[in-house]
Amino acid sequence: MRDNDWTKILGWPGYRVYRAEIDEAAKALKLWVRRKPGNRRIVCSGCGRRVSEIREVYEREVRDLACFEYPTTVVLERYRVRCPDCGVKAEKVEQLPSQAPFSKRFEEAVGQACESAAARQVAKRLGLASSTVRAMDLRYLERWAAGRRKPALRQMGVDEIYLGKKPKFLTVVSNLETVEPLWMGPERKKETLDEFFRTQLSGRQRRGIQAICVDMWKPYGLSLEQWAPQGRIVYDKFHVLQHAQQAVDEVRRAEFFRQGGRKRELVKGKRWLLLSRWVNLEPGQKRQLNQLFSLNRRVMKAYLLKESLDRLWTYRYEGAMLRSLQSWIDQLRWQRLKPFEKLAGMLLDHLEGILNYCRTKVPLGVVEAVNGNLKSLLRRGRGYK
């Protein structure tokens, strides 16, 4: 076959095959390529600007799509160039997206295969290590995400997901209008969220953020103050009620240790019931809770406080919302329920962000839905964390 024919079969735009070798015993094909004479546009891989000064020519070897049954390797002549901005850099070549020894379309084929099969199987079929395939799939996903035009981020959600192992938490940023996760990073520190703002958004995009739905978590607050000070912080129902659930759980635990014998048995195993909403319980479960409440008034009070806090988000005017919060706090008097006193203090400290719920309409339920989707995604996931 003439080199000209190999050029057609390979089909790399701007490149021609000048040498081909077939290893029949090993069933392998190797092609050597260089630029076509007319292909003079050389671009810096660091910044994408056009450059003219070539420092050196070297060979890069990458695995490409198989030709019939022959696994194919392409050896490419590549330039090292001198960029006025970046210094000495490799030239940008469309089919060489990373340092890894694979062509772009090979990585794409692997990434697509990983959508319907486990990385382990894909690796076996191609004679590669599983870790290599997983890395390729990640790069494929990243390129796919970067290539998409993203809608403007006006309402932003920040969530933490508890993993329980290292990293213990994951911070997830989502677009609440499109109900779409945008980014995730390890831990839940100020630096975590800082990194999102620094690497994912331009200054103009940051200034376009109107509202941010977030938990009352100081490190996030500090990062938002620095990067999106014009964005209105909204502490939504979902996040606040999570704190109320924790308070119920603390009361339950304290009562469990305070009481002995038969009563202790009653508190035991009721955690899930106590964290559930009354409306979602079966009659039998309601009976179990009522039995518990008749023996322990403190647990009952805690449960009622959690249930009634929900009402705050039914008001559309901040005056009404504020009065409702005040009467909720009044109910705490004489109850000696420390976890709820702590919660009340926290709500008062974050009052502006709670009342912002009336001033900025963040789609109700979306925050919870995004959070739930992410959790199932992580469970089901391709195993990347």
List interacting residues with Zn ion (CB under 5 A): 44, 46-47, 83, 85-86
Q: Which is nearer to Zn ion, 47 or 348 (CB)?
A: 47
In whole angstroms, the minimum distance from the beta carbon of 78 to Zn ion comes to 15
Q: Which is nearer to Zn ion, 40 or 154 (CB)?
A: 40
Q: Among candidates 329, 354, 353, which has minimal Cα distance to 342?
A: 329
In whole angstroms, the minimum distance from the beta carbon of 51 to Zn ion comes to 7
Dihedrals phi, psi of 362, to nearest 5 degrees:
-95, 130
In whole angstroms, the minimum distance from the beta carbon of 74 to Zn ion comes to 25
Q: Which is nearer to Zn ion, 63 or 80 (CB)?
A: 80
Residue 101: cis peptide before it, omega within 30 degrees of 0: no
Q: Which is nearer to Zn ion, 83 or 109 (CB)?
A: 83
In whole angstroms, the minimum distance from the beta carbon of 148 to Zn ion comes to 25
Q: Which is nearer to Zn ion, 43 or 141 (CB)?
A: 43
In whole angstroms, the minimum distance from the beta carbon of 107 to Zn ion comes to 23
Q: CB atoms < 10 A from the CB of 119, how many?
A: 23
Q: Which is nearer to Zn ion, 88 or 145 (CB)?
A: 88
In whole angstroms, the minimum distance from the beta carbon of 374 to Zn ion comes to 37
In whole angstroms, the minimum distance from the beta carbon of 195 to Zn ion comes to 24
Q: How far apart are CA 63 and CA 203, in angstroms?
A: 39
Using the CB atoms, write b or e for 143-176: b if 16+ within 10 Å.
beeeeeeeeebebbbbbbbeeeeeeebbbbbbbb
Q: Which is nearer to Zn ion, 42 or 295 (CB)?
A: 42
In whole angstroms, the minimum distance from the beta carbon of 67 to Zn ion comes to 34
Report CA-CA distances (Å) from 154 to 199, 204, 216, 329, 360. Answer: 17, 12, 20, 33, 12
Q: Which is nearer to Zn ion, 86 or 184 (CB)?
A: 86
Q: Which is nearer to Zn ion, 46 or 363 (CB)?
A: 46
In whole angstroms, the minimum distance from the beta carbon of 130 to Zn ion comes to 35
H/E run at residue 212 = strand 211-213
Q: CB atoms < 10 A from the CB of 184, how many?
A: 17
* Helices (runs of H) and strands (runs of E) counted in the chain: 16, 10
Spell out the residues 6+ positions from residue 61 whose beta carbon is closer than 8 angstroms to its own. 73, 74, 75, 76, 101
Q: Give rounded-to-5 percent helix, strand, coil for the chain.
A: 50, 20, 30
Radius of gyration of the chain (CA): 29
**Contact by Cβ (8 Å): 175, 182:** yes
Q: Among candidates 362, 104, 71, which has minimal Cα distance to 233?
A: 362
**Contact by Cβ (8 Å): 94, 13:** yes
Q: Which is nearer to Zn ion, 51 or 354 (CB)?
A: 51
In whole angstroms, the minimum distance from the beta carbon of 88 to Zn ion comes to 10
* H-helix segments, the chain: 3-10, 104-116, 119-126, 130-147, 190-200, 203-207, 218-227, 237-258, 261-267, 271-275, 283-295, 297-309, 318-330, 338-349, 351-359, 366-380
